[in-house]
Copies of this chain bind each other. A is one copy, B any other.
Amino acid sequence: MNASVSIPSVLNLRPEAEQAPTSGIVDVFSYGRLKPGIIPLWVGEGDLPTPSFICEAAARSLSEGETFYTYQRGIPELRQAIARYHEGVYGKAFDPERFFVTSGGMPAMQLAFRMLSGNGDEVLIPTPAWPNFAGAITIAGARPVAVPMTIDAQGWHLDFERLEQAITPRTRVLVINSPSNPTGWTATHADLRAALDLARRHGLWIVADEIYGRFVHDPALAVDGRTPSFRDVMEPEDKILFVQTFSKNWAMTGWRLGWLEAPPALGQVIENLIQYQTSGTPTFIQRAGVAAIEQGEDFLADQIVRAKRGREIVGRLAQTGLVELPPPSGAFYAFLKIKGATNAKDIAFRLIDEANVGLAPGSAFGEAGEGYLRLCYLRKPEDVEEAVRRIGEALPRLVG
């Protein structure tokens, strides 16, 4: 469902570049984005701009002349702040040398796949999944292998049997995204142990995306206000790379600031790759990151409350009986299916026309998402209420 682009052969491009898929959200987004009154719940960001104390840290740095080239691994102050952040969240010590500042979660992921997979290698991705995993793998020349999760009345589940069957001699990496974008599925410690065991037995790396880890809604899963993490079950020698971002916790989607967590032994390789990737992240943006970590817990707490409220409101759609919506355990997305509907994109277009609400078609998240729609509920409750009301009105016309 994510189309590749066809370029005149006279231009003689590299096939992997043409195969980099166009986002399956973009045509729905382009169709509806300028419609007056639309409630936009298609993109993975909330409605609040970045808090002013974060913006002011960047402005201050700029006015102090921090506009020169800087450390490829990130400024020491931010690497130390990230280590302290991890100590607070995971309750143990972290070496700042494990953390490499990147210009967003996406570049962190790209660094990870570049180090681990190349021409002809295979990377396992449980699906539905954020399409940028497959995109980053494809342009690295490797092959993303979708392994559908299973779904029942309790929700989505990792299918370890399918994962094991999908492993070939070319498999190099297993991606685990928990809490999941788009489904909200959240791994238990047992899931994480099983994934780690699988990776160890087959010599695979794990790329762990736990960026929504502070957004936990199922009390049975919460560990000190966060979701279970590989950090709880791994040994120091385990081959795991963590990708992270400032985007979600601190409403910094537009800043392009994140980090990669990796064994310090990879430091020089990562530094070199950053040199040829972005040549580092602006110092003034990194200062904003320090402010976010040091002063941002109250804002994050408000974001989490906002997400919980949004989740409750969206949950009402399930009560209509016209929608399947397993309650998401984490993150801030509802992944819902309108009963009998088969073509997610058609429904997404109709919801723009008939309800003036923008949702992302599930088909953008892989074949396993066909028929579903992703709704981001990290928004002021009045907007989510109104969106749910409008969708509810349109529902009887949309069921198959």
- A contact residues vs B (CB 8 Å cutoff): 5, 7-8, 11-18, 20-23, 43, 45, 49-50, 52, 55, 58-59, 62-63, 65-70, 103-104, 106-107, 110, 114-119, 121, 132, 135-136, 138-139, 141, 172, 203, 205, 239, 251-256, 263, 265-266, 268-269, 271-273, 275-285
Contact = CB atoms under 8 A, between A and B. Distances in A.
Nearest to A253: B69
A91 B181 CA distance: 49
Given A11-B265, A20-B272, A256-B282, A277 B106 contact: yes
Nearest to A115: B17
A205 B103 CA distance: 29
Given A59-B62, A62-B59, A67 B256 contact: no
B21 A116 contact: no
A266 to B, nearest CB: 7
B265 A135 contact: no
A254 B66 contact: yes
Nearest to A111: B17
A139 B276 contact: yes
Contact of A285 (B68, B116, B282): B282
B272 A5 contact: yes
Nearest to A58: B62
How many copies the complex holds: the figure is 2
In order of increasing CB-CB distance, the 6 nearest A-B pairs are A49-B65, A59-B59, A50-B67, A135-B276, A55-B62, A20-B272
Contacts of A118: 14-16, 119, 141
Given A14-B114, A252-B67, A104 B279 contact: yes
Contacts of A265: 7-8, 11
Contact of A104 (B17, B66, B278, B283): B278
A219 B18 CA distance: 43
22 contacts: A14-B114, A14-B116, A14-B117, A16-B114, A18-B269, A22-B272, A23-B272, A23-B275, A49-B67, A49-B68, A58-B58, A103-B103, A104-B279, A106-B278, A106-B279, A114-B139, A119-B119, A135-B275, A139-B273, A139-B276, A254-B283, A256-B281
A273 B13 CA distance: 13
Contact of A266 (B11, B58, B67, B70): B11
A340 B282 CA distance: 41
Contacts of A13: 115-116, 266, 269
A68 B55 contact: no
Given A45-B69, A117-B14, A132-B275, A282 B255 contact: yes
A14 B115 contact: yes
Given A22-B272, A239-B11, A280-B256, A43 B69 contact: yes
A172 B107 CA distance: 26
Contacts of A8: 265
Contact of A276 (B5, B52, B106): B106
